[in-house]
Amino acid sequence: MKALTSLFLLAFFSIAILSAEDQKPNVVLLMADDLNTALSGFGHPQCETPRLDDLAKRGIRFEAMHCQYPVCGASRASMMTGLYPYANGMLGNSGNLRENLPDVVTLSQLFRENGYHAGRVSKIYHMGIPSEIIEGTAEHDDPPSWDETINITAPEQHAPGERTEWSPKDTSSQTFTGVKASSGDLEHADGMAADAAIEFLKRNKDKPFFLGCGFVRPHVPLVAPSSYFDLYDRDAMIAPVVPENDLDDVPKVIRDYKANSRYGITPELHKGLLEAYYASISYMDAQVGRVLDALDELGIAENTIVIFSSDHGYLLGEHHKFQKQHLFEEATRVPFILSVPWISETHGKKTSHLTELIDLYPTIAELADLTPPDNLHGESLLPLLKNPGTTDWAKDLVFTISRNGGESVRTNEWRFNHWGFGEKGAELFDLQSDPGEFTNLANDPAYTDKVEELSALLKVKRAEAGFDPEKYR
């Protein structure tokens, strides 16, 4: 009898251990590329993103989430390491993370080292778009982050359909080429990525996994099946309203960078550009929805954390500028949704507290009960997940850097930028009275004290972020 009892207890505890192992939460990180906050769930009046709106109902919208460097490579490396760019050495789209930090433990690598199967589909670290999608490569990937990787090969701007150049003066690979494609969802990069992600989920549904799935839209070229263009009336597209002299008070070093003088976008072309950008977003949104549906169909949604984010914001005519690497709100702010099924009491809510993409790493580690490296710069978002309006959230500024020695601190009331590490001009914007950041107060004597206060705060913050004056000047 004692032997039978012992066998029963052994079997019981074995089942309990297996059950506990099965309950490790899965993680799905969904990344868009060059996406600003043009989501209907974030209040955009024209762009339609019903599937991301559905995800927001199952999680929390972070409405003041900011990137650490508004360019793909630097931002993604920062998010995946939990470190500011000065600390990991990734200050653009070039460079090699592992050469800079051979012993770094990235977010997905932490999960790998704790029994998870980690997979990457398409762009998580930097990729050259459209060239690497056409070639099916990922030259800037980080192999120690993954157990398996899947690259996507798609035609991009060579897809059949109606092609238009919405920025006729720009002949670079980053020109605003739009393609209203005659082919279907699965014949373009994001449809292929969704397919690969779904197959990954099917293969790995019975073991804990970390999946990073990158969607390349709405990065140029703005390619989407014609049905997504049909969602929009080109003539009804609303371009940003910007004062004619908006750039007159911007420091010279950045004034003309990616201004419309480079692109030659007329008001008529602007409407077509916006239509193509929104169509690309709606196409990407539908592919996100397919991945979310697969989680439900496979019965693993209730044990899967889902993160959706862009790598940085994007200007579409605000300040007479386009694209990225600026330090205006439209470039630094990203749409960010975090869905944790078992924290259901706050689903569908939002938080306006200032947060940063480096906060993702410690958050997901804590949710999975894993011990992250002790040098992370971010803060766990768990208090906001439990109470989006909590008064205990201590972060009161976000820190973003960019090209030309550009550095920015953004508080709830102010944004202060300087260029050339403070030697080539500054910008001060009162976000309460001037949320569009149209009037630079940095040279107004009435705001000298505020400039000095925020400049000092910026210098303290950049030291904390790993700034080495000998290395980065």
Q: What is the pLDDT of residues 115-133, one digit of tens each?
A: 999 999 999 999 999 999 9
Average pLDDT over residues 264-293: 98
Range of the domain at 314: 24-390
pLDDT value at position 469?
86
Average pLDDT over residues 222-250: 97
Task: State the number of CA atoms in the 13 A half-sphere of 399 facing the CB.
Answer: 23
Cα-based angle 87, 458, 398 (whole degrees, multiple of 5): 70
Nearest to 67 by CA among 56, 53, 80, 55: 80
- The CATH number assigned to the domain holding 339 equals 3.40.720.10
User: In this structure, is residue 264 part of a structural domain?
Assistant: yes
User: In this structure, is residue 5 part of a structural domain?
Assistant: no
Q: Is residue 419 helix, strand or coil?
A: coil
Per the structure block, which two tokens stand in for 377?
A: 């710069």
Q: Which residues pair with 292 in a beta bridge?
A: none
Residue 448, Cβ neighbours under 10 Å: how many?
13
User: In this structure, is residue 467 part of a structural domain?
Assistant: no
Q: Mean pLDDT over all residues of the chain?
A: 95
| 288 touches 191 (CB < 8 A) | no
Is it the case that residue 3 has pLDDT exceeding 70? no
Write the DSSP string, 318-349.
GGGBEESS--SHHHHEEEEEEE-TT-GGGTTE
Q: Is residue 218 helix, strand or coil?
A: coil
State the Cα–Cα distance between residues 138 and 129, nearest whole angstrom.
10
pLDDT value at position 2?
45
- Percent of the chain having pLDDT more than 90? 94
Average pLDDT over residues 26-33: 98
Per the structure block, which two tokens stand in for 286?
A: 């539908």
User: In this structure, is residue 183 part of a structural domain?
Assistant: yes
What sign has the CA pseudo-torsion 429, 430, 434, 435? positive
Q: Is residue 101 helix, strand or coil?
A: coil
Q: Which residues pair with 410 in a beta bridge?
A: 398, 415
Q: pLDDT digits over 299-331, tens only? A: 999 999 999 999 999 999 999 999 999 999 999
SS (H, E, C) 283-325: HHHHHHHHHHHHHHHCCCHHHEEEEEEECCCCEECHHHEEECC
User: In this structure, is residue 113 part of a structural domain?
Assistant: yes
pLDDT value at position 16?
34
DSSP classification of residue 21: H
- Percent of the chain having pLDDT more than 70? 95
User: In this structure, is residue 405 part of a structural domain?
Assistant: no
State the Cα–Cα distance between residues 146 and 149, nearest whole angstrom.
7
Q: How many domains does the chain contain in total? A: 1
User: In this structure, is residue 438 part of a structural domain?
Assistant: no
